[in-house]
Amino acid sequence: MIDRDFRTPPQMAELQTQASVHVLGCHEIENLYLYPDAIGELLRRAGRSPDETQGILQTVSDRFAGLWIVQRTAMRHPDFPEPTPLVRELAGGLKWDTVADDKERAVRDIVSRYGPLEAGVESKLINSLLRSADVYEKLRESPDLWKTCLGKQVLNSIPRALGLNSADSLERHVFQLWTDKAVALPAEALELLAYLHRI
């Protein structure tokens, strides 16, 4: 079993055929614990509205927008230079509101941390990063955000917004909801269980 990461559906299908593995239907296994029905139920039990779920996911995911944009570009274009530690450091602190204020400037700041690049490579990298920023802009408004955000980072950052102390606590609460059948398992978890039963 491997994470989907930024793989396209054809890449997932090819990998599953060639390597006989299961590719998760979400970015990382941690994303399963961000399932909106489960988050909404936890909010309801805390006396809050489940309608807050998408806004909370969006707010936390937006903290990692720069990293999402860089990682997506790197995975979709393995021919580009590997992001340097300086790129990762800048991207890791680049929130969506900063990117949205001026995408071109944000992307050029990222590219400047790659070091010297050939003119053709630099312009392709800029265009690809801008495309990734546009993709993130659409995804952040999508009900599928929980599946496509950076699962590890969001899972580690979202508990406080839900009144919980840690990612472990959130995982335990969500697992209990599934065990008690208070919330149905997401399709992505059912697919994983079906795969595990086959092996």
Q: pLDDT of 86-143, one tens digit each?
A: 999 999 999 999 999 999 999 999 999 998 998 899 999 999 999 999 999 999 999 9
d(C-alpha 185, C-alpha 110), whole Å = 38
Question: Which residue from 67, 68, 61, 65 is spatially nearest to 158, judged by alpha carbons?
Answer: 61
Structure tokens at 16: 């599953």
pLDDT in tens, 170-189: 999 999 999 999 999 999 99
- What residues does each domain of the chain span? 1-55+149-199, 65-146
CB burial of 28-57 (b: ≥16 within 10 Å; e: otherwise) equals bbbbbbbbbbbbbbbbeeeeeeeebbbebb
Residue 2 is given by DSSP the state B
